[in-house]
Amino acid sequence: MRPPDGTFFLPGPAGRIEAVLKRHPSARAAAVVCHPHPQSGGTFYNKVVSRATRALHAAGATVLRFHFRGVEASEGHFDDGVGEVDDTRAAIDFLAPEHPRLLVAGYSFGAWVGLRAGAADPRARALIGIGIPINVYDFSYLHETRKPLLLIQGDRDEWGDIEAVRTLARELPGPVTLEVIPGANHSLAEHLETMMERISELVARTSG
């Protein structure tokens, strides 16, 4: 039995995972969205995550966002990005049957975790990284995928040096779209509408 739209629990490797499902009545795609660092207060209520979810749904996707282990009502304990990749795989396991066109998106720490899970999973057709914290985490695993990748980065992101992100985008073997938002820092405050537009464009290209 399919769970209704709204909050529910899905099975995960460390116990139950709290999730929110927003189905689209005529879905063109499905998307998993990962939230920022749990130890910095990151949850699926984060503004960037919420707006990304809204943009994906408006573009025609059924969207699942979830709490990593140990966050809010999800069971388990923080695992420094290792177990969180497994949590993302559990979310993909749940959502993949909904639609063959699956995207994985993440913001900040959620981008590091989500893109790693999505890059390695053949069910994920495209990837979205928002505010990737390249100053802190290693994104070299992206060299192993040729999936379409959208990177959305503020040119004043204090956790993701824009020149380092540009270098990464140039060196990756697959199709990469880098959208640099002038004046935006890591929070993308006052630039969320621009982010939403870029996400909608990617869904249209991927699901067309």
User: Is residue 108 in some structural domain?
Assistant: yes
User: Is residue 1 in some structural domain?
Assistant: no
* Whole-angstrom distance, CA of residue 53 vs CA of residue 159: 22
Give the residue, 75 or 28, on which the prediction is more confident.
75
CATH number of the domain to which 23 belongs: 3.40.50.1820
User: Is residue 149 in some structural domain?
Assistant: yes
185-206: average pLDDT: 90
pLDDT in tens, 134-165: 999 999 999 999 999 999 999 999 999 999 99
**Total count of domains within the chain:** 1
Percent of the chain with pLDDT over 70: 97
* Whole-angstrom distance, CA of residue 116 vs CA of residue 141: 7
User: Is residue 46 in some structural domain?
Assistant: yes
- Domain containing 11: what range? 6-207
Contact 39, 119 (CB under 8 A): no
User: Is residue 100 in some structural domain?
Assistant: yes
pLDDT at 55: 97
pLDDT at 208: 59
105-110: average pLDDT: 99
User: Is residue 98 in some structural domain?
Assistant: yes
Write the DSSP assignment of 120-184 as a string of letters.
H-TTEEEEEEES--TTTS--GGGGG--S-EEEEEETT-SSS-HHHHHHHHHH-SS-EEEEEETT-
